[in-house]
């Protein structure tokens, strides 16, 4: 099979990119996913909710923060403001069907071979040749457990948790103090657990206004409401400026070894909130150049070493801007679609629709002025 464009991943980025291509008049593409549409969201802990609210504000030029296309809204579709992972997966599936996207599920890409004029993708079912390759694999399916020695053997990652109710011990230990770490601590404490959290940095005390760095208002409010709620039986104790470099197990207990050589002993398996890995780095590490696990991209979010290979979604960092939220990374879809059309002799963009995307803040081609500054 030959396709002009192949998108790997049918999550928020992949479905959003597919809708954008369709809306702009590009049809020669396919979306591949090793599982189902929105599968990563389905695997969220049952208690986890979106930290950005969904609200149907489209008619006033302010699209739903969690929408992956201009004319959709998870809030309207599902009637909810704070979505669960399963909620969002349902929204993505409905959007894919509404726009009749060419999504092929259960298509695990096993190998990518760079050819003279494009890329050959090998799946169990077939081979697909494409000129333009877009990675939309996200991060959640790829928990980073190797950040700490012994983490793979002795830790359970946030991304591996089905429900916080699965933890039976009264004493729980968390490593990592940003969004997932504080969220894990809150969920466990609300179940009456005594939670100890070790971290070298935390978004709780970050001075930056950018929510990609500072803890989200939703999580901050939950944390401080918990600290003042005397009726809650659980506890959260945060130890900042403590970096864990290794986890080992002796008898029935776990040893946490700090970077300064101290050993902390805990009773239950530590919970790792140590971030995730870019899926493209797992599948095709040779197609991107990485510095400190960050893919190096040009102005079009294209690999600087592999022509016509693009990265979209939460792993995109460009010109110092972190695009880890949906309302951020969705603004790059139309820009990439336009660039691909410019390079191709047989693709054209619906300029009227492109103007609509720009008017609705779904087009960002210059990140120079994206710094978040607040006066108060």
Q: Any idea what the CATH number is for the domain that residue 64 is in?
A: 3.50.50.60
Same domain, 300 and 350: yes
Query: What is the pLDDT at residue 201?
Result: 82
For the chain, the domain total comes to 2
Same domain, 136 and 259: no
Same domain, 187 and 307: no
Same domain, 339 and 354: yes
pLDDT in tens, 276-291: 999 999 999 999 999 9
Same domain, 181 and 262: yes
As a dihedral over the C-alpha atoms of residue 295, residue 40, residue 271, residue 252, rounded to 10 degrees, the angle is -120
Of 272, 295, 317, the one marking the end of a domain is 272
Same domain, 74 and 218: no
**Domain of 96?**
2-141+276-359
The H-or-E segment that residue 196 falls in is strand 194-202
Would 366 be classed as within a structural domain?
no
Of 209, 239, 272, the one marking the end of a domain is 272
Would 371 be classed as within a structural domain?
no
Residue numbers in the chain where pLDDT is lower than 50: 374-376
Residues contacting residue 179 through CB under 8 Å, at least 6 positions apart: 51, 203, 215, 216, 219
Same domain, 44 and 126: yes
Query: What is the pLDDT at residue 375?
Result: 46
Question: What phi and psi values does residue 278 have, to the nearest 5 degrees?
Answer: -60, 125
Query: What is the pLDDT at residue 320?
Result: 85
Would 215 be classed as within a structural domain?
yes
Q: Which two tokens stand for residue 312?
A: 């979209």
Same domain, 39 and 128: yes
Query: What is the pLDDT at residue 374?
Result: 40
The H-or-E segment that residue 258 falls in is strand 253-258
Taking alpha carbons only, the member of 83, 78, 74 closest to residue 15 is 74
Question: How far apart, in whole angstroms, are the C-alpha atoms of residue 160 and residue 44?
Answer: 8
Same domain, 91 and 134: yes
Total length of the chain: 376
Assess contact for 135 and 112: CB atoms under 8 A.
no
Same domain, 258 and 331: no
Same domain, 200 and 308: no
Same domain, 8 and 103: yes
Question: How far apart, in whole angstroms, are the C-alpha atoms of residue 3 and residue 327?
Answer: 28
């Amino acid at each position: 099979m030959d396709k002009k464009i192949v998108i790997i991943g049918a999550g928020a980025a992949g479905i959003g990119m597919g809708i954008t291509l369709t809306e702009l008049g590009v049809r020669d593409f396919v979306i591949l996913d090793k599982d189902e549409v929105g599968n990563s969201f389905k695997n969220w802990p049952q208690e986890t909710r979106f930290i950005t609210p969904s609200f149907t504000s489209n008619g006033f030029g302010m699209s739903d923060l969690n929408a992956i296309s201009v004319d959709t809204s998870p809030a309207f579709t599902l009637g909810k403001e704070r979505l669960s992972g399963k909620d969002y997966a349902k929204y993505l599936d409905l959007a894919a069907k509404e726009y009749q996207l060419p999504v092929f599920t259960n298509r695990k890409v096993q190998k990518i071979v760079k050819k003279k004029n494009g890329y050959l993708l090998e799946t169990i079912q077939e081979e697909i040749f494409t000129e333009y390759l877009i990675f939309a694999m996200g991060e959640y399916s790829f928990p980073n457990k190797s950040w700490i020695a012994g983490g793979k053997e002795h830790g359970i990652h946030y991304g591996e948790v089905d429900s916080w109710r699965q933890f039976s011990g009264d004493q729980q230990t968390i490593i990592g103090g940003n969004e997932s770490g504080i969220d894990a601590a809150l969920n466990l404490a609300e179940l009456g657990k005594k939670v100890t959290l070790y971290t070298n940095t935390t978004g709780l005390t970050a001075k930056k206004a950018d929510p990609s760095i500072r803890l989200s208002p939703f999580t901050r409010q939950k944390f401080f409401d918990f600290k003042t709620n005397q009726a809650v039986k659980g506890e959260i104790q945060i130890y900042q400026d403590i970096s864990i470099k290794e986890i080992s197990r002796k008898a029935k207990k776990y040893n946490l070894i700090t970077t300064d050589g101290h050993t902390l002993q805990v009773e239950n398996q530590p919970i790792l909130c140590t971030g995730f890995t870019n899926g493209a780095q797992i599948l095709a590490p040779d197609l991107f150049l990485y510095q400190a696990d960050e893919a190096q991209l040009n102005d079009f979010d294209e690999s600087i070493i592999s022509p016509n290979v693009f990265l979209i979604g939460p792993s995109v960092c460009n010109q110092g801007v972190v695009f880890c939220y949906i309302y951020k990374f969705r603004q790059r879809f139309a820009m990439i679609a336009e660039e691909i059309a410019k390079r191709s002799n047989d693709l054209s963009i619906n300029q009227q629709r492109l103007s609509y995307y720009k008017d609705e803040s779904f087009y960002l081609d210059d990140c120079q002025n994206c710094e978040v500054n607040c006066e108060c």
